[in-house]
Amino acid sequence: MEEFEKNNTNTPPTPRKGFVSRHTTTLKVIVVGILTLLLLIPLSMISSLIYERLDTKRNAELEITSKWSGEQIITGPCIVIPYTQEIKQKDKQELVRKNLLLLPNEMNVTVDAKVEKRKRGIYDVSLYSSELLLTGTLNMDEIAKTGIKPEDMQLNQARVIMGISDLKGIREGVVMQLGAQNYDFEPGIPVENLHTDTDPIGGKSFYERDLQVTSPNLSTGIFSAGLNVKIDSIAMKDLAQGTLPFTINLYLNGSQGLFIVPIGKTTTAKVESDWPTPSFGGDFLPANHNVTDEGFTANWKIIDLNRSFGQTVNAENATAINQMATSAFGVKFIQSVDQYQQNERSAKYAILIILLTFVVVFFIEVLKKKAVNPFQYLLIGLALVLFYSLLLSLSEIWGFNLAYIVAAIMTTVLIVVHMSSILKNRNLGLFIGALLTFLYLFVFILIQMESYALLVGSIGLFCILAVIMYFSKKLEL
C-alpha cells in the first residue's frame, strides 16, 4: 500500500521558461547590434564636423593670402606677335587678326624663397618672400615652321608677356633686359583672343576639387593676370637676325606654393628655401633635391620633348594653353602634419573600436554572470564617440599626436572607472581599459603608417576575429 501511494505521488511539473528567458543571450546580441548601428549617427556628425573645421581653416588661409598674395605660377616671358590670316567664310575671303606666342629657346630660373608662418586665430598659413632670376634666350627661328608669311606678321606690335598668378605679390618694379636694351613691364596682358581657361582641370574651384596636395591651383588660368611690355623695332630687328639674351629680376611674395611653366625649349630651375618640409609637385619632379632641417634645394631640367606643346602656340588654341598650364612644376610649402586628414583616418576606425569594446563587455557579462543593461552599453558607446570630438578639438591646438594621447587617456580612464563600478569588479574594469589601450595604440600605428597600413590592419583584424571566435564557443545563444 505504501509502495502504491509512493508511486502515485503527484510531482509538480517543471515550470517552462518563457521566450525571453530562453533567448536572453540572443536578444542581448540583437540589442547591442542595434545600439552599434545607432552610434553611426553621431559618428557621421563627427565626420561632418571634421570637414566643417577643415573648411574653416581654409577660409582663414584664404583671408590671409588674399591680403598677402596667393599661390604663384610663373609663365614666361614669351613674345606675342600679331599676324593676319585669310579665311574663307560664306563664299568670301576675310582677313582675321590672330596672335602667335613665341616661346624662349632657353629659360633658366633661380629662386630663393624665405618662408614664414602667419596665424589667424588657431590657424596658420605658409607665406614666402622670394627673389627670382629669369635668364634665357629668344629668337624667331621657330616661326618659319608655322608657315606664316613674314609680310603677314605685324612685328611693330609685338609684345613680351609674362603670366603671374597674383600681381599683389610683386614687391618692386619689373625690368627686362633684352639684348642691350632695358624695358619696364606694365600690368595686364592686352592680347586679343588669348585663351585663358577658367579651370583646365575640371570647372571647379581649387578647394572643391579633389586634387592631390602637390597640384598647383590652375583655376584662373596662367594668363588671367600678368605683365607686358612693348618691344621696339630695334629689338625686333635684332631678333630677326639672331638670338637675344634676356634677364628679368622678380621680387615676388606668395603663399603655399610656387610653380613654373616650362616654356623654354630647354628649361632649368633651381629653387632654394629655408622651409624644411617641401612637397615637390606639378607635372615634373626635380632631377635632384636635398632636404634638411634648415631647408631644401631642388633642381629641374625639362626639354621640349618632355611636354605636349611646341615652341609656337596660337593664342586662341585652348588645348595648347591648357597643356602649358598642366605642365607646371614647382613646390608646395606644406605643413609637415595635416591633423584633419589624420582625424578623418582615425574616425574611420571608430566603429571597429566601438564594436570590439561591446563584444568584450558582452563576453564579460555572459561568462562572468555580470549583468549590464543596454543603457550602460549606450553610455560606453557615447564615450567612445566623444573621443573623436576631443581629438579634433585638441589637435587644432596641440597637434595630432599629443591630442590623440590625451583624448585616449581621458576616454579610457572614464570607461574603466564606470565599468569597475557597474561590474563591481576593478579587475574587470582594468581589463576593459587594457583592451581600449591596445585598440587605440593599434589604430594610432595604422594612422602613422602609409604603405603598409592596409596589410597591418588586415592582419590585426584577422587575429582579433580569431580570438573572438575562440571565446564565442562558450556562449549559448
The residues near 330 (Cβ < 8 Å, ≥ 6 apart) are 73, 216, 257, 258, 259, 260, 271, 280, 281, 282
What's the pTM? 0.77
Grid coordinates belonging to 180 = 642691350
Report DSSP state, residue 368: T
Q: What is the DSSP string of 101-154?
A: EE--SEEEEEEEEEEEEEEETTEEEEEEEEEEEEEEEE-SGGGGGGT--GGGB-
pLDDT of residue 9: 53
Distance CA 117, CA 115 (A): 7
Question: 286-315 burial by CB neighbour count: b if 16+ within 10 A, else e?
Answer: beeeeeeeebbebebbbebeebebebbbbb
pLDDT tens digit sequence for 87-108: 776 767 778 888 999 999 999 9
Give me the average pLDDT of each 10-residue run along the chain (477 residues): 51 52 65 83 88 86 85 92 81 82 95 89 86 94 84 88 94 92 92 65 40 70 91 82 91 93 95 92 92 94 92 89 92 78 87 86 78 84 92 89 93 91 86 89 84 81 83 64
Q: What mean pLDDT value characterizes the chain?
A: 84
pLDDT of residue 408: 93
61: exposed, middle or buried (Cβ count in 10 Å: 0-12, 13-18, 19+): buried
Is the N-terminal amide bond of 374 cis, ω within 30° of 0? no
Distance CA 371, CA 296 (A): 61
